[in-house]
Homo-oligomer: A and B are copies of this chain.
Amino acid sequence: MPAVAKRADRHTPESLLAVAVDVFNVRGYDGTSMEELAKAAGITKSSIYHHVSGKEELLRLAVTRALDGLFAALDEPGALEGPAVDRFAYVVRRTCLELVRNLPYVTLLLRVRGNTGAERDALERRREFDHRVADLAAAAVADGDLRPDLDPRLTARLVFGLVNSVAEWYRPDGPVTGETVADALGSLVLDGLRPRS
C-alpha cells in the first residue's frame, strides 16, 4: 500500500486556471510541464486532464479572458460615443484599468510569443485591438484633436508600451489604486508633463 495518500481534486476549471496562469507567469509557458502544473495545483496530472485537454487549452482560456476584457472595453459607451479624442482617451484609460484588474491574465497575454496555435491566435487578436485603437487615434488627429506631427504607428507603440509596462511593477496590494494609475497615465499621454498655459 503506497504511503502517499491521494489528494482529492477540489479544483473548479476557474481555480485550476488561476493556478496555471500564476505558474506560467513565473516559469514561462514553454518552461512549464504538466507535472509542474499538477504539483502547483496539488492534484494529479490525470485530474488536470479531467478539466482540460492540456497545457495549451489552459493558455488559450487564460489569454482569451484577457482579450475578451480588452475588447469589451471597446464596446462601452465611452469608446463609442463622442469625439474621437475622448473615445481614444477613454480606451487608453480602460486598457490600463483592465490590465490592473486582470493582472495575471493580461501579464500572460503580454508574454505570448507565438510558438503555438493558441499563442498565434492571441497575437492576432492583440493586433486587431491595436488597430482599433490606432484607428481611433487617427480619427482624433483628423479632427485636429491630437497632434499630427507624431507618427501614429510609433505613437501607438509607445502608448501601449507605457500601458503594458504597468504590469511590470503594479501590485494589487500596493499603495496605488488602479484608478490612480489609469488617471495619471491617461493624463500623461494626452497632456504631457509640461504645464499647459
Give residues in A with beta carbon < 8 Å to B: 28, 31, 85, 137, 144-148, 150-151, 154-155, 157-159, 161-162, 164-166, 168-169, 176, 180-181, 184-185, 187-196
Given known A-B contacts A150-B188, A150-B193, A184-B151, A157 and B145 have beta carbons under 8 A apart: no
Q: CB distance A184 to B145 under 8 Å?
A: no
Query: Roughly how many angstroms separate A192 CA and B184 CA in the complex, as a whole number?
Result: 12
Scoring A181, A185, A193 by chain B CB atoms within 10 A of each residue's CB, the highest score goes to A193
This chain: copies in complex: 2
Pairwise interchain contact A150-B184, C-beta atoms closer than 8 A: yes
Assuming the A-B contacts A147-B195, A150-B193, A193-B147, are A169 and B161 also in contact, with contact meaning beta carbons closer than 8 angstroms in the complex? yes
A195 CA to B190 CA, complexed, in Å? 9
A151 to B177, CA, bound (A): 13
Chain B residue, CB-CB nearest to A184: B154
Q: How far, in whole Å, are A138 and B90 apart by their CA atoms in the complex?
A: 29
Are the CB atoms of A192 and B195 closer together than 8 Å? no
* Whole-angstrom CA separation of A26 from B71 in the bound complex: 31
Determine whether the beta carbon of B166 is less than 8 Å from that of A161.
Answer: yes
State how many angstroms separate the Cβ of A139 from the closest Cβ of chain B.
13
